[in-house]
Structure 1
Amino acid sequence: MNRWLPPLLSALLAAPLAALAATPSYGPNLEGFEYPHEVGTFEFRSQGKDVRMAYMDVAPRGTPNGRTVVALHGKNFCGASWEDSIAALTGAGYRVVAPDQIGFCKSTKPDGYQYSFHQLAANTAALLDELGVEDHVVMGHSMGGMLATRYALLYPQRVERLVMVNPIGLEDWLAKGVPYISVGDWYAGQLKVTREGIKNYQLTTYYNGEWRPEFDRWVDMSAGMFNGPGKETVAWHSALTFDMIVTQPVYHEFHRLQVPTLLIIGEHDNTAIGKHLVSEEQRKALGDYRAMARDVAGRIPDVTLHLYPDLAHSPQVQDPARFHADLIRLLD
């Protein structure tokens, strides 16, 4: 840095360089990021394409209880994000299967793929057939909650219990006034994703303004894909799945669920897809998890609502000991 520059200007110029250096670079299929357990690959044909679905299939530790939990990740998450949950559940005797959905993380991102929650649910069912998993708990977090809902609607005979952890989709954003934007517009926005932006979003939405060093691993996981050699591919498929989320609401179908459901909510969550597209006044009506949790619980025929007044979008990461003790107790 030029020693003649004023100190404040020197600091401002150095900051972006330091941030760039701190951002890892992973491949478009998250090559270079280590998962907590061995990653298997399920190869199959979907929409006329050869695809590979990455997954972890983790056996119970200690005495098996004969039950399986299928853990579905969110939009900005991966199967690896369930690391603490896998440890807690397998320690309690559960088998855990945690896939990366097609289009996400270590799985294939095929050209010309038509994303839908129906398709992702069918892919998940095919994986479980391959692994010989029959009756099971399906647990979804964030976008995974929308997918788990669709899965339970399509395959109720397979689902022992549906667990949703701070799912998105507890409201219909387009019906609430969020304007539709094209995949191209989503793509342009995703190309601008930075590590700093990801961390700031997680700080305010996932962790209620409280940061701990262990959270950086999940920032790096996401930021590394957007900083790697396949960042255009990652951004494009991220845009396609944003379009899927906003145009395929499950909110109007919660009353159709036929399986026992556990709805776990950190009430400080404020996630609402597209809220950056509306006015500040309109924004106040979006992402109110305190109100939405109670509304949706009233729509589901057989539901247990478990609330955390002090936690936010990722209670299983923010307070893992308390969350997992409650989860295992509620599952039992």
Structure 2
Amino acid sequence: MSNPEIGRTVSAAGIRTNLHDVGSGAPLLMIHGSGPGVSAWANWRLSLPALSQRARVIAPDMVGFGYSDRPAGHTYSMDSWVAQAVGVLDALEIQRADLVGNSFGGALALALAVRHPQRVRRLVLMGAVGVPFDITPGLDAVWGYEPSFKTMRALLDVFAHNPALATDELAQLRYEASIRPGFHESFSAMFPAPRQRWVDAMCSPAADIRALPHETLVLHGREDRVIPLANSLTLAQWIPNSQLHVFGQCGHWTQIEHAARFNRLVGDFLAEADATLPPRH
């Protein structure tokens, strides 16, 4: 039986990168979060089928996560992750893409838009890191994860507002994912304590965020215990061409807890962007 988490492989900034490349149309790069055992497929499994009906969706495993390479001695940093994301676009010969970033991926998408604005068309930031905040107990627990079923089960209750989603079955699957060979070694190397410094390292400069020209959709779960809602309020205030949607009865898993609404909102936002582009002469 094939593993749905494994897609195709490209070399991106020297990193052998596992990615999913589905659908056709305007390219859409979707960047996952930083939970233990995460992969692009695990993060976006409910979004890939829906959004690929209206776009070419590319969802890579960032270095240190999923089934991309974990080079010995690699220094995990925003610089290396941004370089890899741009490398994915280069490998696929994509000059400009829409970006969706979740949590850690939101910080990465924001940094990419700041550093390479010409490579980004529209921006979607969901429960995003990337602006200053005091690390939450929830995020500290996520980044400080030590593998056990019990710990993973407790983390699911932090991620999801709806307790029906935090099942023993899902906890077992995510726990098993977190102990695949090499997975925890790279994960534990990324965010050692004290962890506030990694929140700070993922921030883009406020002046650069305020100068972003891109149409931006900012999304957040009202009950998010991992990344504070205040982050998205800040982003919506700082980014001139932004709009904010807050999901009620929703934790950190917007794309899972409110999958149909999330997919419709993102799909419509990107389609509206198509419709508002000026005619070419």
* Class of the TM-score when normalised by the shorter of the 2 chains: 0.7 to 0.9
Distance 1:103 1:151, change over 3 A: same
**Structure 1 equivalent of residue 52 of structure 2:** 90
For the residues of structure 1 that align with 2:131 and 2:2, how far apart are their CA atoms? 31
Distance 1:152 1:170, change over 3 A: same
1:201-247 alpha-carbon deviations (Å, 9 max, x no partner): 2223x221422378944x44542244344465244334369687334
For the Cα contact (< 8 Å) 2:20–2:58, is it kept in 1?
A: yes
> Which of 11, 34, 55 does residue 75 from structure 1 map onto?
34
Distance 1:149 1:308, change over 3 A: same
TM-fit CA distance, 1:146: 0.4
For the residues of structure 1 that align with 2:102 and 2:168, how far apart are their CA atoms? 17
SS in 2 for 1:139: strand
Distance 1:214 1:41, change over 3 A: farther
For the Cα contact (< 8 Å) 2:132–2:200, is it kept in 1?
A: no
**Structure 1 equivalent of residue 202 of structure 2:** 249
**Structure 2 equivalent of residue 105 of structure 1:** 66
1:119-169 alpha-carbon deviations (Å, 9 max, x no partner): 211111111111112221110001100000001111111111010111134
TM-score (norm 2): 0.81
> Which of 136, 146, 160 does residue 207 from structure 1 map onto?
160
Distance 1:228 1:157, change over 3 A: closer
TM-score (norm 1): 0.70
Distance 1:79 1:132, change over 3 A: same
Structure 1 gap segments, 5+ residues each: 1-31, 61-65, 273-286
For the residues of structure 2 that align with 1:138 and 1:201, how far apart are their CA atoms? 27
RMSD across aligned C-alpha pairs, in angstroms? 3.0
Query: Structure 1 vs Structure 2: percent identity of aligned residues?
Result: 24
1:294-330 alpha-carbon deviations (Å, 9 max, x no partner): 2321111211111112211111101211221222122
For the residues of structure 2 that align with 1:116 and 1:231, how far apart are their CA atoms? 17
**Structure 2 equivalent of residue 284 of structure 1:** none
> Which of 50, 54, 61 does residue 18 from structure 2 map onto?
54
Is it true that 1:125 corresponds to 2:77 in the alignment? no
For the Cα contact (< 8 Å) 1:88–1:324, is it kept in 2?
A: yes
> Which of 184, 190, 198 does residue 152 from structure 2 map onto?
198
1:99-136 alpha-carbon deviations (Å, 9 max, x no partner): 00111110111122122212211111111111112221
SS in 1 for 2:246: strand
For the residues of structure 1 that align with 2:270 and 2:12, how far apart are their CA atoms? 32
**Structure 2 equivalent of residue 236 of structure 1:** 188
**Structure 1 equivalent of residue 249 of structure 2:** 310
For the Cα contact (< 8 Å) 1:226–1:234, is it kept in 2?
A: no
Compare CA radii of gyration and give the structure with the larger one: 1
For the residues of structure 2 that align with 1:43 and 1:198, how far apart are their CA atoms? 32
For the residues of structure 2 that align with 1:120 and 1:209, how far apart are their CA atoms? 31
For the residues of structure 2 that align with 1:45 and 1:322, how far apart are their CA atoms? 35
For the Cα contact (< 8 Å) 2:33–2:102, is it kept in 1?
A: yes
SS in 2 for 1:84: coil
2:95 partner amino acid: E
Is it true that 1:293 corresponds to 2:232 in the alignment? yes
For the Cα contact (< 8 Å) 2:160–2:166, is it kept in 1?
A: no
For the residues of structure 1 that align with 2:118 and 2:22, how far apart are their CA atoms? 23
Equivalent residue pairs, number: 262
Is it true that 1:227 corresponds to 2:179 in the alignment? yes
2:31 partner amino acid: L
For the residues of structure 2 that align with 1:151 and 1:127, how far apart are their CA atoms? 12
1:69 partner amino acid: L
2:49 partner amino acid: A
**Structure 2 equivalent of residue 267 of structure 1:** 222
For the Cα contact (< 8 Å) 1:33–1:221, is it kept in 2?
A: no
Distance 1:122 1:128, change over 3 A: same
For the residues of structure 2 that align with 1:236 and 1:111, how far apart are their CA atoms? 14
